Amino acid sequence: MIYHPRRSFLRRVLFAALLLCGTADADAQVFDLPTVVETLASDEHAGRLAGSGGERLATDFLAAQLQRVGARPAFEDRAWFQAVPLAEPLVGEGRNVAGVLAATNSRADAPIVLLSAHHDHLGDGRLVGSSARMGEVGRVHRGADDNASGVAVCLRTAERLAARPDRDFDVLVVFFTAEETDRQGARRFVQHPPVALDRIVLAINFDQVGRLGESLGFEVASPVPQSRLTDDIDAASELVGLPLEPSPGLIRRTDAGILQTAGVPVLALHTGTHQDTHRPTDTPDLIDYAGMERIAAFAASTTIHRLPADSH
Ligand SMILES: [Zn+2]
């Protein structure tokens, strides 16, 4: 079933104006989406299993990307990383990575929009969660769609928001570890958050957004009445020309569910699982980069429309 946005002439005019701004922002892009996905999915990162050397290198790369977009480290003592002690069968510590783009007129109680995606994947698949078929066992699981794609769209959305003048809200970008093993990174984050969680007016979580077909899957949950948020999502969908399709259960299956449990309003996005999910065949050459650009435009538009008028 495709979800058709409601139409409003005034809203369309407003969003046409915002789209023009967005297009202008996109002219000078910090990130090349294929480069971000190919780097995360490279041999060097070896499938980014939480707690592994590959994860460490990948998270170093992500901190450098946050710096490039103008973020400052989000955790205590100006740290980019939050250590996440891992439960069996994993060993050692994983790392959440987070940065903040402060509002134009920075203030301590500014509303926060959180953009999140998990960066970890399955390593060579022998320890956790692989759907490898005969002949694939033990090969690097590159996780291009799951979830290098979500990380890249997060960065592009942050870039779009960073470029907006007079932004009245902070943007907190978080890359979670150990999503693939019971969402341990997100759990740690909400137990030890770097900001008061009640300042977060909207969290958008991206998990497998690299294979856009006819429509973008979504689910919304908010502790306050959702009508305005639903209207904003409709309007952004119409502006970008990106039809939406409800995905019941998406929040529960992703890091968005942990944020929701902590009382944060969430919008979860995905383009769906497929035959390559959790297999070594989830590779960068199968990613739809133009689709990812549209998803970032949609996410940024939703955010911009929602704030600051509806932030308190
Ligand atoms: Zn996965």
Q: What is the CATH number of domain 9-306?
A: 3.40.630.10
State the distance from the centre of ligand 1 to the C-alpha of 107, rounded, in angstroms.
37
How confident is residue 105, by pLDDT bands cut at 50, 70 and 90? confident
pLDDT, position 224: 75
**Are residues 47 and 141 in contact, defined by beta-carbon separation less than 8 angstroms?**
yes
State the pLDDT at residue 277.
97
Q: What pLDDT, on a 0 to 100 scale, did the predictor assign at position 129?
A: 87
Q: How far is residue 220's CA from residue 229's CA, in Å, rounded to a whole number?
A: 9
- Distance from residue 157's CA to the centre of ligand 1 (Å): 21
At 25 the pLDDT is 46
Report residue 70's pLDDT band, with 50, 70 and 90 as the boundaries: very high
Q: Where are the beta strands (DSSP E) in 177-292?
A: 200-206, 216-221, 244-246, 266-270
Tens digit of each residue's pLDDT (9 = 90 or more) over 7-46: 444 444 444 444 544 444 445 689 999 999 999 999 999 9
What is the average pLDDT value for the chain, to the nearest integer?
90
Instruction: Determine the pLDDT at residue 306.
Output: 62
Spacing, Cα 199 to ligand 1 middle (Å): 29
Where is average pLDDT lowest: 82-91, 101-110, 203-212, 221-230? 221-230
User: How many CA within 13 A on the CB side of residue 280?
Assistant: 15
CA max distance for the chain: 57
* For residues 256-270, average pLDDT: 97
C-alpha 178 to ligand 1 mean position (Å): 10
Q: Which residue has the higher pLDDT, 255 or 225?
A: 255
How far away, in angstroms, is 203 Cα from ligand 1 center? 20
CA of 220 to the centre of ligand 1 (A): 20
Answer for the pair 111, 141: CB distance below 8 angstroms, yes or no.
no
72-92 burial string, b = 16+ CB within 10 Å, else e?
A: ebbbeeeebbbebebeeebee
pLDDT tens digits, one per residue of 136-160: 989 999 999 999 999 999 999 999 9
pLDDT-derived band at 307, boundaries 50, 70, 90: low
Average pLDDT over residues 55-67: 98
186 phi and psi angles, rounded to 5 deg: -65, -35
Quick one: average pLDDT of 269-291?
A: 97
Which pLDDT belongs to residue 110? Answer: 92
**Percentage with pLDDT > 90 across the chain:** 79
Give the distance (Å) from ligand 1 centre to CA of residue 253: 10
DSSP string, 54-102: HHHHHHHHHHHHHHHTT-EE-BGGGBSEEEEEPPTTS-SEEEEEEEEE-
Q: How confident is the model at residue 220 (pLDDT cuts 50, 70, 90)?
A: very high
Query: Is 115 within 8 Å of 154 (Cβ atoms)?
Result: yes
Q: What is the pLDDT of residues 227-251, one digit of tens each?
A: 788 888 999 999 999 999 999 999 9
